[in-house]
Structure 1
Amino acid sequence: MESTVKTSASEREIVQVKNYKIDTLVFTAGFVPFCNVPVCRATCCYWGVYVDVKEREKILEYKDLILKYMDETQPHDVELWFEKEEWDDADFPSGKCVGTNVYNGKCVFLTKEGYCVLQIAAEKNGMYKWALKPFYCCIYPLTFWEGVLTYDDGHAQDLPYCGINAVHNHAGPVVEICKNEFVYVLGEDGYAELLEIYKKWKQENSNISGVK
């Protein structure tokens, strides 16, 4: 599981919604209209993800269900699903996280078609689609860094379809495009509040390049 380097939260412009600090980078960074797995092949998932240790416990609790939907490119030995070392990280609810392993050149939970087997297993069994999926997978391209909700620009450096450098594919700023991800974190009311802040911010910063 690879790590990325981002600037300190103290170096960024922050707004607040409810109890969440939000980086205004989400007002300017561009993103694609939607995640298009047949096109991007889930490139963002290839390096694995850090999950809260509680999420690991939940995934292992449903291991028999998940195994039913794994294909031949994925490890059916649950001991290979997660890295052994745990890390202290305040951006996770329990304060501890662990990485998913990379197997056959991709996250262990990624099918050969590029879809998350955790989401497949949940949907096939009448559960909410993100019931088993790690939080940071659900909210991508958003992430938390030093307690601030922001755009995962470090991870996006190497993504040819939706990343920072794929401006030809961008349909608008992250704050407008990624409604579902923001609602998952902030709720409908929180997202509406954020959009109001964004409108005011745009008016005040209309002279900045890239802000329309």
Structure 2
Amino acid sequence: MLLYKIKNLFFMSNEAGGNAGNNAGAPVPLPYQDDTANSYINDVTDEGVVQTPGVQYIGFKLHKEEFLLPMSLVREIIMLTTITFVPGAKFLMEGIIALRGEIMPVLNLRRFLKFERGKADSTTRVIILQCDYGGFGVIVDDITEFVRLQAAEIESIPQNFFPAEYRILAGVSRVGERIRGIIDLDKIVSEMTLGLKEETENADQEGASDH
């Protein structure tokens, strides 16, 4: 039952209390966000604000690679804070943090992508993302830039080219000679919640048998 509860941390976002938020990392200012929900970039011209198709992304480094995430998914960015280890958690999960009273899992994509284990330093950050299950963090080595891309600058991933671990990519950005993978949040959540329904059903059956 304990393991079942740990693996359901996505559903605990509003259950933390007391002084849990005291260990939260300091927030990092975010730039002005475009109308990414509607896939438009707001450009200010002499004639006023002009909307052009495009999406704003945040760039970050993992190991020696650079990736992108849509800014519309980012709640905030914080300095690295204390991460509590969770025994038996899925391999993607580094642990949990308490952020202003909210308990949330923190993922380590280095493990999933089979990169070398990194060391935290002054540039290490945690990007807080939001999905249907609640908030969760992703550890990154550094924030590189905030960039705006149009559809023509994004390409699909060539079949049978990337290793299986790169299935969490939605596509690649190619601007000049700079190529960066675009992380698909839905695929990350799918990896984290794989088997969650089955575990929930098994836990309910175990609970019923205890009575």
Structure 1 or 2: more strand by fraction: 2
What TM-score, normalized to structure 1?
0.28
Structure 1 or 2: more helix by fraction: 1
Larger radius of gyration: 2
